[in-house]
């Protein structure tokens, strides 16, 4: 019997377009002999629709031009799944679902919100649970939990946008405590959107205002010299650790544009570092995954300093999932092909009784 899988894409998020590409790749690679797939498209405004059109229209963001019926998760005990609202005649239909695959990057998808809804509906879902998703999304909370667990992170302070915020005083505090250069990041956002490298007060003021466009809280970090490495983790209790990769960029950092164009950057997998450093990075990735209580999947991003010290950067609980994204590539390097990864993630969701 096929598993009835609902794939959710889009979302009310700054990373909406990234989600479309990830979802399109998954849909094209889902083994039809194993899964009966239902597609749920979520618009930028947060409206949910049952999408029955061509996958290419997801990739080029024309899917929402189709005539579609709204859907919602059933919260009752009568069945597990979706309720389709037939707007033409005012009736509704039940769509039973065994598992949800939320391919929703960023806010309102990667931050525990969708996970909480699925948990309330009693439907297993791919990826981390509500709490680990929420903590992993918030860079301040990630810092706090991981530092408590003994994982080395960049020194940081956090600030909230309110009427009492004095940007000059904040700059003085940050530059004294952390020293320049700094990074300013929205506390709850991904794909480096709203992130800036800071060398002076003018850049600080501009960076703070830009970051506050994405979130009401920012994290200000000491810049770690060196380059970024990453590691994929998949599993619930028994974990599979992917290969370590390396980002070589000519820019100040691997920003949003570079992540999806790579005009001045190149990703090496495996990373061009020693076996001992790879082993240490994998251990840190596993320790971070466990410290945050992750399930299913996550990509752990780190910095490697010129002194060969590894610092945690952040964790992505719904990493990019196109067939050429970093996460699947890391796992392909340890023998897990893309189609097999999709099957594995759904299997992990179905066995995870906490969901």
- Domain ranges (residues) in the chain: 3-125, 135-152+225-351, 156-222
Asked whether residue 261 carries a pLDDT value surpassing 80, the answer given is no
Handedness of CA 336, 340, 345, 349 (dihedral sign): negative
Handedness of CA 337, 192, 270, 229 (dihedral sign): negative
β-strand partners of 48: 42
Quick: pLDDT tens for 53-93.
999 999 999 999 989 999 999 998 899 999 999 988 889 99
CATH 3.40.50.20 for domain 3-125, yes or no, is yes
Which pLDDT belongs to residue 260? 47
Q: How confident is the model at residue 264 (pLDDT cuts 50, 70, 90)?
A: low
Which pLDDT belongs to residue 255? 45
Task: Evaluate whether 305 touches 226 at the Cβ level (below 8 Å).
Answer: yes
Quick: pLDDT tens for 15-68.
999 999 999 999 999 999 999 999 999 999 999 999 999 999 999 999 999 899
Which pLDDT belongs to residue 191? 59
Give the span between the Cα atoms of 149 and 88, in whole angstroms: 55
Asked whether residue 284 carries a pLDDT value surpassing 60, the answer given is yes
Asked whether residue 111 carries a pLDDT value surpassing 50, the answer given is yes
Asked whether residue 245 carries a pLDDT value surpassing 90, the answer given is yes
Asked whether residue 256 carries a pLDDT value surpassing 50, the answer given is no
Give the span between the Cα atoms of 297 and 258, in whole angstroms: 24
Average pLDDT over residues 230-259: 81
- Secondary structure of 240-288 as H, E, C letters: EEEEEEEEEECCCCCCHHHHHHCCCEEEECCCCCCHHHHHHHHHHHHHH
- CATH architecture entry for 156-222: 2-Layer Sandwich (3.30)
Q: How confident is the model at residue 164 (pLDDT cuts 50, 70, 90)?
A: confident
β-strand partners of 233: 241, 298
Task: Evaluate whether 159 touches 218 at the Cβ level (below 8 Å).
Answer: yes
- Secondary structure of the chain as H, E, C letters: CCEEEEEEEECCCCCHHHHHHHHHHHHHHCCCCCEEEEEEEECCCCCEEEECCCCHHHHCCCHHHCCCEEEEECCCCCCCEEEEEECCCCEEEEEECCEEEECCCCCCCCCCHHHHHHHHHCCCECCCCHHHHHHHHCHHHHHHHHHHCCCCECCEEEEECCCCCCHHHHHHHHHHHHCCCEEEEECCCCCCCCCEEECCHHHHHHHHHHHCCCCCEEEEEECCCCEEEEEEEEECCCEEEEEEEEEEECCCCCCHHHHHHCCCEEEECCCCCCHHHHHHHHHHHHHHHHHCCCCEEEEEEEEECCCCCEEEEEEECCCCCCCCCHHHHHHHCCCCCHHHHHHHHHHHHHHCCCC
Which pLDDT belongs to residue 249? 73
Give the span between the Cα atoms of 144 and 218, in whole angstroms: 14
Which pLDDT belongs to residue 163? 85
Asked whether residue 253 carries a pLDDT value surpassing 60, the answer given is no
Mean pLDDT of the chain: 92
CATH 3.30.1490.20 for domain 135-152+225-351, yes or no, is no
Asked whether residue 156 carries a pLDDT value surpassing 70, the answer given is yes
């Amino acid at each position: 019997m096929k598993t009835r899988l609902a794939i959710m894409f889009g979302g009310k998020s700054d990373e909406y377009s990234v989600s479309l590409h990830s979802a399109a790749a998954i849909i094209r690679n889902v083994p039809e002999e194993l899964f009966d797939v239902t597609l749920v498209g979520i618009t930028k405004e947060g409206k949910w629709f049952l999408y029955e059109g061509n996958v290419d229209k997801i990739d080029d963001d024309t899917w929402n031009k189709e005539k579609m019926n709204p859907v919602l998760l059933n919260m009752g005990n009568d069945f597990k799944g979706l309720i389709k609202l037939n707007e033409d005649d005012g009736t509704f239909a039940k769509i039973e679902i065994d598992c949800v695959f939320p391919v929703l990057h960023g806010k309102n998808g990667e931050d525990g919100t969708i996970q909480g809804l699925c948990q309330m509906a009693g439907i297993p879902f791919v990826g981390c649970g509500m709490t680990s998703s929420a903590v992993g999304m918030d860079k301040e909370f990630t810092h706090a939990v991981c530092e408590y667990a003994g994982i080395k992170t960049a020194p940081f302070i956090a600030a909230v946008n309110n009427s009492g915020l004095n940007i000059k005083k904040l700059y003085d505090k940050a530059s004294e405590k952390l020293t320049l250069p700094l990074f300013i990041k929205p506390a709850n956002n991904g794909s480096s959107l709203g992130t800036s490298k800071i060398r002076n007060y003018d850049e600080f003021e501009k960076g703070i205002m830009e970051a506050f466009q994405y979130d009401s809280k920012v994290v200000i970090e000491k810049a770690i010299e060196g380059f970024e490495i990453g590691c994929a983790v998949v599993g619930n209790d028994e974990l599979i650790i992917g290969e370590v990769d390396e980002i070589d960029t000519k820019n100040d950092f691997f920003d949003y544009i570079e992540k999806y164009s790579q005009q001045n950057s190149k990703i090496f997998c495996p990373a061009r570092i020693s076996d001992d450093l790879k082993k240490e990075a994998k251990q840190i990735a596993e320790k971070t995954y466990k410290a945050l209580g992750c399930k299913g999947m996550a990509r752990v991003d780190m910095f490697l300093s010129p002194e060969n010290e590894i610092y945690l950067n952040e964790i992505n609980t719904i990493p990019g999932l196109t067939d050429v994204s970093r996460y699947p590539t890391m796992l392909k390097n340890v023998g897990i092909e893309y189609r097999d990864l999709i099957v594995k993630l759904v299997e992990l969701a179905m066995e995870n009784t906490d969901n």
